[in-house]
Chain A
Amino acid sequence: MLQRLYVHNFRCLENFELNLAGMPSALLIGKNGTGKSTIAAALQVLQSIARGTNRMRDLAAPEPLLSPKDFARGRADVPIRFEVEVLLDQALYKYVLALELPRGFHELRVLEEQLSVDDRPIFLRQQAQVTFYDIPQAKEVKFLVDWHLAALPIVQEQSVGALHLFKTWLSQMVILSPIPALMKGVSSGETLEPKRDGSNFAQWFLGVLSRYPASYTRIEKYLKDLMPDLLDFLNKPIGADAKNLQVRFAQNQALLQVEFDDLSDGEKCFFLAALVLAANYAYGPLFCFWDEPDSYLSLSEVGLFAMALRKAFEERGQILVTSHNPEIIRKFSDENTFILNRKTHLEPTQIRSLSELRPSGDLIQALTLGDLWE
């Protein structure tokens, strides 16, 4: 479970701290441009590194996650800093990554990097110099790493241990801002690493079902609650390596087979949610960040959808969502709702818990009038 995220000098986030300790689910709200999606970007930088994209210039394109232009207000003389504290198997993991852009450089380089468990270092790094602490063998190993590379995905333990556990957790974070039009039913290959826009949904679907076949029941149960006429879904081979996801509906004696691509945007989001819940159950606990899960849903579904997500993550894992939708906002409470605020584009994002700002009247009205923080 993510306990704390700290970000400094990255876009609009300066000395920014999000504390989620003890919260299986939480909500971020705030006006446009206050930094909700930037939090997702910060998490995605760490996720991408754990997934193996550790060269700094590779984080700048094709998806612009991190580049020299991301220093807050162009202030390149102050490092960009990311810190996460995560509770896994009752141990507190802390990963720190600080990046700098010395004069004359065009690519970010690592100034500092470290991973510790319960305050015991696994590795420490200053620029190119890495010190790895082999705890079972009680020895230190020193080596050099290219200063444009994050060391996290390179460092390897002799046996599967704390480092592997943390890397796996970080790489399996589910960060979503789905674009249903990009979610296609055709897949070639499988994965457990969904993309933020949901464009590799079918590969993820296949990856979960092939490695955890019992997930089918969980996915089916969730979907049948939402679409009672759902019969089943199947992955039809189309050629040597590709498959195409199809969904079958039945009522009375009638049967309808629909290509996944032809489902509505909202229905695709139901499938995505079903997969998130199944994945969390199968190989979690997962951390999920879902940017505006209400975007494609009908008003009658939004609240139930939010509650179903919250409820599933009560049991294990953790979900952080953003929203402007009153129906979603009402499904959270003062203690797990955070409000982001930014006075002007020249000032950094501030964050406060709703319990500190509780308006005397109606919350939604206060948000509508924009006077919650005033």
Chain B
Amino acid sequence: MIDRYRPHVLVLPEDDANRQMANGFVLHPGVNSRTIQILDTAGGWASVVEYVKKDGNINHLRKFEQCRVVLLLDYDNQFPGRFDSICEKIPGDLRDRVYVLGVLSEPEELKSDLKKPFEKIGNALASECCRDVQEVWQHPLLRHNHGELVRLIQDVKPFLFGNQ
């Protein structure tokens, strides 16, 4: 079980495609897999929004101050509208521990463009985080995440990409 009293990340994927990318990310050897946990798929971006509104989840985040949450969703070509809409719903005191990332359209388009399975894409994204480079992250379907990504890496690098 993940130690809730130590820095850790919970990942909430919107759907199966995002879940598979998250799997690939965690499988990268540079990622400390005892500090990251992928939750069940939310089942649509509206359900991701529901997650940050639910009292139980909010209470959990307030209780466990070392917990960070990454919401992985599809923007369905509605960036920044959808991003702003989600951020508005995150309680102010938790905003600095919740990160919102997603493919500009949907992961299937990224997969077809990169000609790689979702796991391999996730693995490549993790590799870049570990090496402080951004190539795949600069893909037209991903580069809008830059602000959130920089904020996330700065926060989690000491434990997520730390020793194994």
User: Which positions in A face B, CB cutoff 8 Å?
Assistant: 225, 228, 298, 300-301, 303-304, 307-308, 310-311, 314-315, 326, 330-336, 355, 362-363
Say whether, besides A304-B34, A310-B27, A334 and B43 are in contact (CB < 8 Å).
Answer: no
Say whether, besides A301-B1, A304-B33, A363-B16, A330 and B38 are in contact (CB < 8 Å).
Answer: yes
- CB-contact partner of B33 in A308, A326, A362, under 8 A: A308
Please tell me if the beta carbons of A362 and B23 are within 8 angstroms of each other in the complex: no
Please tell me if the beta carbons of B2 and A304 are within 8 angstroms of each other in the complex: yes
> What residues of chain B lie closer than 8 Å to A326, measured between beta carbons?
40
> What residues of chain B lie closer than 8 Å to A307, measured between beta carbons?
23, 26-27, 33
Say whether, besides A304-B1, A362-B41, A332 and B23 are in contact (CB < 8 Å).
Answer: yes
> What residues of chain A lie closer than 8 Å to B19, measured between beta carbons?
330
Please tell me if the beta carbons of B41 and A335 are within 8 angstroms of each other in the complex: no
> What residues of chain A lie closer than 8 Å to B41, measured between beta carbons?
330, 362
Tell me whether B102 is interfacial, beta carbon within 8 Å.
Answer: no
Give bound CA distance, A311 to B34, whole Å.
Answer: 11
> What residues of chain B lie closer than 8 Å to A308, measured between beta carbons?
33
User: Which positions in B face A, CB cutoff 8 Å?
Assistant: 1-3, 16, 19-20, 23-24, 26-27, 29, 33-34, 37-38, 40-41, 43, 117-119
Residue of B with least CB distance to A314: B27
> What residues of chain A lie closer than 8 Å to B33, measured between beta carbons?
304, 307-308, 311
Please tell me if the beta carbons of B34 and A333 are within 8 angstroms of each other in the complex: no
Please tell me if the beta carbons of A311 and B29 are within 8 angstroms of each other in the complex: yes
Give bound CA distance, A301 to B118, whole Å.
Answer: 24
- CB-contact partner of B37 in A303, A310, A315, under 8 A: A303
Give bound CA distance, A335 to B40, whole Å.
Answer: 19
Please tell me if the beta carbons of A333 and B24 are within 8 angstroms of each other in the complex: yes
> What residues of chain A lie closer than 8 Å to B2, measured between beta carbons?
304
6 shortest A-B CB distances, which residue pairs? A333-B20, A300-B1, A333-B119, A335-B117, A225-B34, A307-B33
**Min CB–CB distance A301 → chain B (angstroms):** 6
> What residues of chain B lie closer than 8 Å to A303, measured between beta carbons?
37-38
**Min CB–CB distance B117 → chain A (angstroms):** 5
> What residues of chain A lie closer than 8 Å to B37, measured between beta carbons?
303-304
Please tell me if the beta carbons of A311 and B1 are within 8 angstroms of each other in the complex: no
**Min CB–CB distance B21 → chain A (angstroms):** 9
Please tell me if the beta carbons of B118 and A333 are within 8 angstroms of each other in the complex: yes
Can you report 9 A-B residue pairs in the complex whose CB atoms are below 8 A from each other? A228-B3, A300-B1, A304-B1, A314-B27, A330-B19, A330-B23, A333-B23, A335-B117, A355-B117
> What residues of chain B lie closer than 8 Å to A363, measured between beta carbons?
16
Residue of A with least CB distance to B13: A330
Give bound CA distance, A32 to B19, whole Å.
Answer: 26
Residue of B with least CB distance to A333: B20
Of the candidates B16, B117, B118, B119, the one having the most CB atoms from chain A within 10 angstroms of its own CB is B16
Give bound CA distance, A362 to B40, whole Å.
Answer: 11
Residue of B with least CB distance to A310: B27
> What residues of chain B lie closer than 8 Å to A336, measured between beta carbons?
119
- CB-contact partner of A335 in B1, B27, B119, under 8 A: B119
Give bound CA distance, A332 to B24, whole Å.
Answer: 9
- CB-contact partner of A314 in B1, B16, B29, under 8 A: B29
Please tell me if the beta carbons of A362 and B16 are within 8 angstroms of each other in the complex: yes
